[in-house]
Amino acid sequence: MKNTNHNWAVLGILAAASLSLLGGSAAGAKTQKVDFNYSPPEWQTAICLPDDPYKSLVDRSGELLYQYNQGGREFATRVGVKVGDAVWQKQELVSPRVPVVRTLSAADGLEIVEEAFAVTDLQQTKAITKGGPSRNDLILVRVKNNGKTERKIHPQLIVNTKMAFKFQPDVQCVTINDHEQVTSSLKMTGVAEENESRRAIQLETLSVPAGKSATFFVLYSGGGSVVVEPATLKEAQACRDHAVAYWEKAPLPFGHIQVPDTGIQALVDSSIRNIWQAREIKNGLPAFQVGPTVYRGLWIVDGSFILETATLLGAGKEARAGIEYELSQQRPSGAFEVLNPKFYKENGLVIWTCVRHAMLTQDKAWLESVWPKLEKIADYIKVLRQRSLENDTPLDDGINPPGELDGGMNGRENCPEFSNVHWNLSGLRAFIQAAHWLGKEDKAALWQKEYDDFYATFRKAAARDTIKDGKGNSYVPIFMANAGNELPQRAQWTFCHAVYPGQLFTQDDPLVASTLAMLEATERQGMVYGTGWDATGIWTYFASFYGHAWLWQGNGRKAAQTLYAFANHAAPTLVWREEQSLKGESFKKIGDMPHNWASAEFIRLTIHLLALDRGNELHLLEGFPREWAGPGMLTCLSGVATPFGPLNMTVQADKKGKTAKLSVKPLAANCKAIVVHLPDGSTKRISPKQGGKISFPIAVVSRIYD
């Protein structure tokens, strides 16, 4: 099969060379850190439970958000608290694994902390209706008086809703949409202000002694049946403690990744939690969804990488159930048309998803069980190639008919493009790989001929359409014959995927080098600029596609830099928006938040910097960040899935930061070599059968990077 016999021995040399190219060998190179320097000015954070049917969110101000895309606006209902003229200070989580959102503000000697969270121990004292379980969310407010005299505060409950609104002072309740209820531990004395959909409900005066604190809460009760609990302040405070305990013990796949950078670790842990919060049970199967609002549903592209991430983290059974849900969407023709009939790349992606999952779980029997479905997909890709010979344009002959691109470009229905080609080729490549693995050599040989012809036709068309950017870098526009006349970087996400995980190109392919140089020339804030839907913005998790391509090409240092740039575009509550404007520019936002393809990509890139399978070899530490080599620092992967079985490895630096010891436990017999990439650019090998330990100097890291 094409492109699998790479000479990986040259990787160490290339990695060492890249240090010089990137300025890494020069004294004074900056140490990277997570500081959220490019955080969006607005964000929203999920507080719902794993697999929750109610996707409760909290915005930057601390308000609860409900009824997405109803009432003619983004969120029909917003519920919050106002304490005098308090000025927002910051927002944070109790911890990365605990989505209790703390919003801190201050006003004239007062410190205000609002903690928003979902009630995890709701007692169902009323019968559950057909509408589903209850959903209760709390804002627990603590006001501290730092002054020397008692203070009286006059808090307000803010209910901003486009839905039906009813204030019922006789029962101390606000009813929204004739169903949900908002209550408070403080008495509601009347409507103090009403401005269109925004109502300020005055709460009773609260006295705060000098040097002391006072606490109250606001409760949103909704879901299928409304249960107004907790009812007292003591119960609300207990709910807060129970929520923290619940999340700290939640059965999510934490602990498989340990890195010494607390900022990176926090984002890894938060990403895991966010993926499970966005997930939902549909038709009895877990649907790994992208987000809680815009992308609350099955998205084959995004979902493929979320499912791979779950598998990498040892949650293979859960991921498999998600794949079964995905496979249930197959058409009788063999096609997948979840997004739309012309989103042809879904077909290649489903094949890759199944093959990658089977190899990560080392489960040939399961792959054999879904093989008929994969064969039908491969046959459909062949049908698409035939259709390209029958349409009105010769540009796409033998490739794919014009399809939808996504990822920044759509709407040119009859314009031939390469995006779907990249993934259908990648899918066929994975299909042939799987055929060999299952011993279906006749099938492999048959489909190899199809793949070779498909690939040759693609390369011929790519060569025909290759042009140069303003700096002389050659690249292939995503639309054939440059029909879109777009910025060079637009919608190049599938090209990056074709590099990795598609593995369509040899490592020395000049098209890959020149395309990555073109993308690098567009960087702003450490990220490729203008490649997504917003031609003047940043597609946050494109950083992973880009970083993986550099890593696959042997430039681990560049990949590590990209991880940090990716991290610093997250919000302080450890979540990403799909796309956002550059810092300092008028803010525009695109897509969901939390966006969990972003979460998955951050986890994937973190793992692959440390361990990446290349054919029948496992390569370690190719992208090991210099920041993780300090005195006493420990990096671990524990039970992370690979095609060679679970990987257990540690990198322990000594107390003086002069040497490090790598320890690796044995892997399965199908691993032919463990190749360790060292800081000086050299490599060493460890026996996969026996595992082992090696020590190496890391002082070179300090000389190179400090």
Please give the angle made by the CA atoms of 279, 434 and 617, to the nearest 5 degrees. 90
Domain 330-517, CATH 1.50.10.10 — does that match?
yes
Tell me which amino acid residue 218 is. Answer: V
Coil, helix or strand for 90?
A: strand
Nearest CA to 671 among 620, 623, 600?
A: 620
pLDDT at residue 131 in the model: 61
pTM of the model: 0.93
Instruction: Show the beta-strand stretches assigned E in 514-585.
Output: 537-539, 579-581
Residue 165 in tokens? 């609104």
**Structural element, H or E, at residue 190:** strand 188-195
Domain boundaries, the chain: 1-38+254-295+523-528+544-706, 51-248, 330-517
Neighbours of 251 (CB within 10 A): 8
Nearest CA to 221 among 201, 195, 197, 239?
A: 239
- Report residues of the chain scoring pLDDT below 70: 1-29, 122-131, 411, 699-706
- Burial-class residue 572 by CB neighbours within 10 Å (0-12, 13-18, 19+): middle
Instruction: Show the beta-strand stretches assigned E in 8-51.
Output: 44-46
pLDDT at residue 17 in the model: 35
What DSSP string describes 113-126? EEEEEE-SS----S
- The architecture that CATH gives domain 51-248 is Distorted Sandwich (2.70)
Nearest CA to 172 among 180, 182, 163?
A: 182
Sign of CA dihedral 315, 116, 74, 229: positive
Interacting residues of 669 by C-beta distance below 8 A, sequence separation 6+:
688, 689
d(CA 17, CA 37): 29
Residues 193-224: pLDDT tens digits? 999 999 999 999 999 999 999 999 999 999 98
